[in-house]
Amino acid sequence: MKQNIPFNADPMGAAIYDYYNTGSADALVVHSSMFEDDEIPVDALFRDFEQMPDLEKAALELSSGRILDVGAGAGCHSLALEKMGKCSVAIDISDLAVQVMNERGVDARKIDFYDESFTETFDTVLLLMNGTGIIGTLDNIPAFFCRLRSLLNPGGRVLIDSSDLRYLFEEEDGSLMIDLADDYYGQLDYQMEYKDVLGEPFDWLYLDFESLAFYAEENGFKAELLVEGEHYDYLASLYIQQ
Ligand code: SAH
């Protein structure tokens, strides 16, 4: 008998759960007040090392020691790390994603990145697939760096990716159509929908590298640009400034 899917307000988890258990999933739709509806291809959340973009491959190769995979989703990075003989802990706020990761053999726990009662420390903290998203809004930047500071072992580093969304506002002549009175152009509101499950709206931040480096410095971190992708995307490392 097919198990009842414990739907709650967790569309991403429900999509991951469906794909894992049936081999296919419906559209995982992303709504935003700023753009047309978009879709996250659910099978891409199950990508293996070979299917990953170069900057994710680089992040996995650079990961060392005890690794924390933040917002791990279906666990693709943790599984790839395990194949490389590396040891990671995966955290996610989605119950169903954590359940699927555990079934896939990942050491996954339902923990919010911002939960201060999680006091373990790591040599590498991975934030991948637009890792700056978890910052939410620019106001939250100090809290983000504060959490990173407590999660890192001495000498440890964060590997994080994002994209510069300027291309969405670029005119043909290269000038930018950005209203300076508006919020930062990478600050988006998202809401996900899967089948009949509509999630809570949430803020998701895309941060260009220069801004990331600026805020890192303000919060006692140093940012280094490691890899530039093909479409305004990049991988950076963050470490505590001595
Ligand atoms: N890293 C995965 C999944 C990215 S999707 C991949 O590359 O495939 C982003 C994930 O972050 C989702 O699974 C979401 O549930 C999780 N997430 C969002 N906010 C979080 C938070 N505050 N703490 C932990 N996980 C979070």
- For the stretch 79-115, pLDDT in tens is 999 999 999 999 999 999 999 999 999 999 999 999 9
Confidence class for position 181, pLDDT limits 50, 70, 90: low
Residue 77 backbone phi and psi in degrees, to 5: -70, -40
* 197 vs 75, residue with greater confidence: 75
Average pLDDT over residues 203-230: 97
Give the single-character DSSP code of 33.
T
pLDDT for position 47 = 98
Phi-psi region of 220 (alpha: psi -120 to 50; beta: other; left: phi over 0): left
pLDDT for position 29 = 96
pLDDT for position 8 = 58
Of 40, 94, 98, 115, the residue with max ligand 1 atoms within 8 A of its CB, to mutate for a pocket test, comes to 94
Q: Which long-range contacts (CB under 8 A, 24 or more apart) does 31-37 make?
A: 31/190, 31/191, 31/192, 31/193, 32/188, 32/189, 32/190, 32/191, 33/189, 34/188, 34/189, 35/188
Least confident of 96-105, 144-153, 175-184, 191-200: 175-184
Confidence class for position 7, pLDDT limits 50, 70, 90: very low
105: amino acid identity, one letter? G
Average pLDDT over residues 45-54: 98
pLDDT higher than 80, residue 5: no
pLDDT for position 48 = 98
Average pLDDT over residues 4-20: 82
Q: Which atom of ligand 1 is nearest to the CA of 47?
A: 8
Is the Cβ atom of 94 under 6 angstroms away from ligand 1?
yes
pLDDT for position 6 = 47
Is the Cβ atom of 76 under 6 angstroms away from ligand 1?
yes
Is the Cβ atom of 96 under 6 angstroms away from ligand 1?
no
Computed over every residue of the chain, the mean pLDDT equals 93
* 56 vs 173, residue with greater confidence: 56
* 59 vs 4, residue with greater confidence: 59
Average pLDDT over residues 129-153: 98
Contacts of 202 (CB under 8 A, 6+ apart): 136, 189, 190, 191
pLDDT for position 228 = 96
Question: What is the reported pTM?
Answer: 0.94
pLDDT higher than 60, residue 4: no
Place of tokens 């941060």: 207
Average pLDDT over residues 209-234: 97
How many other CB atoms are there within 10 angstroms of residue 119's CB atom? Answer: 8
d(CA 219, CA 221): 6
Is the Cβ atom of 188 under 6 angstroms away from ligand 1?
no
| Residues listed for the chain | 242
Confidence class for position 196, pLDDT limits 50, 70, 90: confident
pLDDT higher than 80, residue 176: no
> What ranges make up the beta strands (E) of the chain?
28-32, 35-40, 66-70, 87-92, 108-110, 122-127, 152-163, 187-194, 197-198, 202-205, 221-228, 233-240
pLDDT for position 2 = 39
